[in-house]
Structure 1
């Protein structure tokens, strides 16, 4: 029993780190928890006599599990990848949640997770483990079944795609909030010129309302049209923290209607990600986060 407790305690010391790795790999909180649980099962049944770096061993095991999950996901994904919104991590705007901060310690926004979803599974693994968690290529190579040099190329290719597709967002939350509040005020008031003024000309809107109702809108004109439709609904907004940025929860009749996150670059909104699927909102615990 004592050895079992020691084993469990040693794993718990790494649980937060492993969940952070899995979240970046999968973009899904539920799947990240599944990956951590599977890592625990493998850990609890393994002979660790030759393991000198438990954290590194657990990270590569979790990475291999996530890689397999990504490969199987591609075969069963019903929703087009370009309209899929990764799971947001939501918390009150004025409250620092230690567990949330640990999950997002390296500042991961939805825009970055969307780009990571476009990578091949092996590219994503190499990039996440090396660039985000400093795992050596020599340790990653056996997981992706490539040489260290080829693994380095995977990460390099992923890095170029990430840098090209996901410009660095505004780091200041107060500035993000100012832009979001201007967007919401213009939308509520029907001031569509003011809306255009805070939208990047090539803004992208992704709305996940369930597989059959999800949509992708490109360009400021299209987003303004969506804002016109949204304005017809009577709702209140509660500002929240979404990953490394700000967002808003729309409430209608005391019920959560949608969660919106924005990406702000150089004072303009470049991406809008909306989750409006009731089942998914409940699964993410959004009502509890804003209540």
Structure 2
């Protein structure tokens, strides 16, 4: 059986979202960011992105289990209720403000409108005007825009908890430069034989940028408390799980705005490239 293409062929990039109640069973699909947004990567502060990666994995595993008639062995009749991270209102506002300010930097720079020519006053008009004494105005301090966004696992989980369809379904951990997470998703309509059953799994991922392309690779995974069969893991480890996201022109353009996307220690760090200065207009 060819396992290399399991994840890429198993699901469509649909619009369906998960039901708010973790015990409900509804066919999951990769959630989409807001239409027309150039900030898809950070939509929901990575909640959609991270969940999409898990859904792609889930699809690959579920397809394998179906073809090998192991659906019942690697799924459960009950969901795993995962913890959630809650921030108080003040801390949540501070976090969301940081994210929103950073997201705005992903938009393409707007060209400033050309200045209209100003008509010079005549010599008589200048002579008729009384002299005005003007005090020099203090120069405004330049607005410093964030070039880097640092998110802890607690930050990510707090933002995930703001989305009812993700709360108690996904829980992220970051430790020693590795991002990992637990997921619990219903399989109804997702794979034949999955009706009334749940995909409860966990995984560790390597995340980074390579020549402007986002790369996410699976390091290891467990499903229903059991390790993934080596035949499946060997194929999935070779794949870039973020490859599907490169197909979106706006998302791909946003990713190229990044200088680095890395997981360092217990934090995810997103660093933007510096903007090139505008070319001087010929006189």
Q: Give TM-score, length-normalised by structure 2.
A: 0.23
Instruction: Identify, as 1 or 2, the structure richer in helix.
Output: 1
Q: TM-score, normalised by structure 1?
A: 0.23
Please tell me whether Structure 1 or Structure 2 has the larger radius of gyration of its CA atoms. Answer: 2
